[in-house]
Amino acid sequence: MSGKPDDFEAAIKPPASDSVASFTERKGLLARLQHALHVNPAIVPLFVLLVSIVLFGLLLGSKFFSPFALTLILQQVQIVGIVAAAQSLVILTAGIDLSVGAIAVLSSVIMGQFTFRYGIPVEIAVAAGLAFGTLVGSINGWLIAVMKLPPFIVTLGMWQIVLAANFLYSANETIRSQEIEQNAPLLQFLGSTFKVGANADGRGGATFTFGVIAMVLIFAFLAYALKHTAWGRHIYAVGDDPDAAQLSGVNVKRTLISVYAVTGFICAIAGWALIGRIGSVSPTSGQLLNIESITAVVIGGISLFGGRGSIMGPLFGALIVGVFTLGLRLAGADAQWTYLLIGALIIGAVAVDQWIRKVSA
């Protein structure tokens, strides 16, 4: 045979290529949208909020599109918004807190009773109410993190305990607005109003309360903490997979206890704001805050399965409820339409969350 072996091998073996194999993944419009919502879950509630504002503005005109009406929405949702911020932290850890409303109300009752029943300085009474909320939250966290009890059962039981303690301690007594205004105005501080953009004679402009400012500051602080601190990253890690978080060095127990403690503290702030909102200290107020806060969180796009969502979503969710409530009221519609539409939004939000979760599946 003639020829060289090298020539034969060269004839049957193609020259090696230095290029690396690449795979192109083609995504359709729907898949890209799904991925975008997975990365930015607050987009949907923000879109719904803007659309609802535009629709009611076109329907009602200046009656809805006015500084007074729009800032009234903020005043109406401030309590729910603050409690929703607290609830968000718990749900991000794949838990739930049914005691948030009861903690807020009893914290407000403690502030009022310490001031008027025991004659304690109002500053110390407010601090005592905040400390009480933090303590109850810490107990919830300890029972869940250390005793390994289900969050639903723990907070359901704590809700009943705190609710009963509220009525027993207060003797179902309401401290009237006039008494508070004369003797302890600090209790009503978060309900105090101030105007922005008013005329020289004090007319016009937007009216805000310090409770609204407190709500915005709480959301801003939590947004920063969740995005830029180790504590925030640990919250998402625990909610996504607590076992994997533990293996990666996260102290799961300490994280859970801190989350429920902060939740209780924020709920106590909501109780303080509740006094300012209604003017009095009433043990019967705020009974639906637990359900309303969960509603705002779900509509706001935070996953009930934990580990995914933006803290700004519940703020948008609370505002959506406020926009629908005020808009339908100004339109003269039956109040039941509000519940119907909010219920549809809740189901729709959960359906969207399930659809978005397929991205990571």
Contact (CB, 8 A) for 179 and 116: yes
Each residue of 175-192: pLDDT tens digit? 999 999 999 999 999 999
Per-residue CA distances from 125 to 82, 278, 296, 355 (Å) = 20, 19, 30, 47
* pLDDT(23) > 60: no
Whose CA is closest to 104, among 122, 125, 78, 130? 130
Each residue of 88-132: pLDDT tens digit? 999 999 999 999 999 999 999 999 999 999 999 999 999 999 999
Q: How many residues can be counted in the chain?
A: 361
Position 334 scores a pLDDT of 87
Whose CA is closest to 175, among 288, 289, 285, 287? 285
Contact (CB, 8 A) for 71 and 284: no
Contact (CB, 8 A) for 303 and 296: no
Range in 39-53, 132-146, 232-246 the model is least confident about: 39-53
Pairwise pLDDT comparison (5 vs 192), residue with the higher score: 192
What's the predicted TM-score (pTM) here? 0.88
Residue 208 has phi, psi (to 5 degrees) of -120, 160
Helix ranges (DSSP H) in 61-150: 67-92, 100-116, 122-145
Q: Report percent pLDDT > 90 for the chain.
A: 67
Position 162 scores a pLDDT of 97
Contact (CB, 8 A) for 134 and 268: yes
Whose CA is closest to 144, among 194, 186, 90, 189? 90
Position 298 scores a pLDDT of 92
Residue that has been written with the tokens 């602080």 in this structure: 221
Residues 6+ apart with CB under 8 A from 55: 327
Position 13 scores a pLDDT of 54
CA distance 57 to 64: 6
Each residue of 207-252: pLDDT tens digit? 899 999 999 999 999 999 999 999 999 999 999 999 999 999 999 9
* pLDDT(15) > 60: no
| Mean pLDDT, residues 124-141 taken together | 98
Residues 282, 287, 292, CA angle at the centre, nearest 5°?
135
